[in-house]
Amino acid sequence: MPRSLRIGLSARFLAPRPGATGTLRRTVQYLDPLMANWVMSRDVVALMVPSVDSTGLLHRNNMRLRDYVHELDGLVLQGGADISPTCYGEEPLKPEWAGDRVRDDYELELVNEFIEAGKPVLGVCRGHQLINVALGGTLYQDIPSQVGEQTAHRDRSINDANVHTVRLEPGSGLARLYPGTQTAHVNSLHHQAVRKLGRDLVAEAYSSDDGVIEAIRLPGRNYVVGVQWHPEFHRPDDERLLDPGPLLEEFLAEARRRS
């Protein structure tokens, strides 16, 4: 029997807590179980790709992110903290929007290695934004202050239950995945968003009310796709929200084709 696909998931970072003891004194890298379960729902082995800590016993001359790329069939970029504006040539407009440059550098290297190897990349929420930055694009640091408040892209009072409408771009890859669907409801947990598209990227979905880019794709030989929502939060049997299955199946089909 053919082996199961091996899909790498980028690590989420939990910063040290002031006054903490034990493990929480250091940066913790972890995998969101909802994301892992979504990826593994199709007979897939999900593996977290850790960053290499230059202060630890393992150094980059022992193990490189490139070594993981050769062993894996595809990459999923998880959600998480803001991307540092310094990654795209800006300074944070507020200190709390400074992001995590350590995680940014790790994931930017990871994305570039997978693209160079011709292996598929799927970015979710922060991962969608990171793909855009990796290809030279920029972000809105804060949607309410830089775009407007026509759509509530984040509502901390209801977290992942916050939902809005997106419009699928006619003729796009995303529209082909969902034939007959012009608009759909998705969850929304972000205050930053794609501003200027990166090299060769095309937008495949927009927020219906304010035009914020909600999905991107890199046309051509590489499969690189990003969505601003969290498909792993959408239940397949919830008819109110966009079915997460076709997106995952397209990504895995590309991974299988190239493995």
User: Catalytic residue numbers?
Assistant: 125, 230, 232
Maximum CA extent, the chain? 54
Residue among 137, 246, 151 at smallest CA distance from 189:
151
Quick check: 92 and 140 in contact, CB under 8 A? no
C-alpha–C-alpha distance, residues 44 and 100, integer Å: 29
Q: Which of 129, 7, 1, 147 is nearest to 76 (CA)?
A: 7
Both structure tokens of 72: 């894996």
Query: Kind and range of the H or E element at 103?
Result: helix 101-117
Can you state the percent helix, strand and coil of the chain, rounding each to 5?
Answer: 30, 20, 45
How wide is the angle at C-alpha 95 spanned by C-alphas 32 and 9, nearest 5°? 20
Q: Supply the angle between the helices 126-134 and 101-117 in degrees, to the nearest 10.
A: 70
Task: Read off the tokens for 1.
Answer: 């029997």
Q: Is the dihedral of CA 252, 100, 34, 235 positive or negative?
A: negative
| Residue of 235, 160, 247, 172 whose CA lies nearest to 204 | 172
